[in-house]
Amino acid sequence: MDLDTLLNAMTPEVYQRLATAVEIGKWPDGTPLTPEQRDSSMQAVMLYQSRHNAEAAHMTVEKGGEIKFKSKAELKKEFAGNDTSASDRASDDIARFEHDQL
């Protein structure tokens, strides 16, 4: 099977299963990956990412085959959201009581 046929046949669900298997070293049924399976699965995951990954995470292969690294500031902004800063949310999340109210 050539790479184009493999990538065209790979669904997002298959990609996610392969990515998870590579991350944890086991197939969904609990069977450990052999070193050859791990290497082949990792290559398939990277190839799939290079064709379909428009929203690259901290360090992944994004669409076009480029390795994407997000800076600490980009990650903070992504996790904090755009509506309020983390410090604003933290002050709203704290309930304050007087000692005799407890």
Higher local confidence (pLDDT), 21 or 65: 21
Lowest mean pLDDT among 21-35, 41-55, 57-71, 74-88: 74-88
CA distances 70 to 12, 30, 52, 55, Å, are 23, 32, 18, 11
CA distance 50 to 19: 14
Q: Is the pTM of this model over 0.85?
A: no
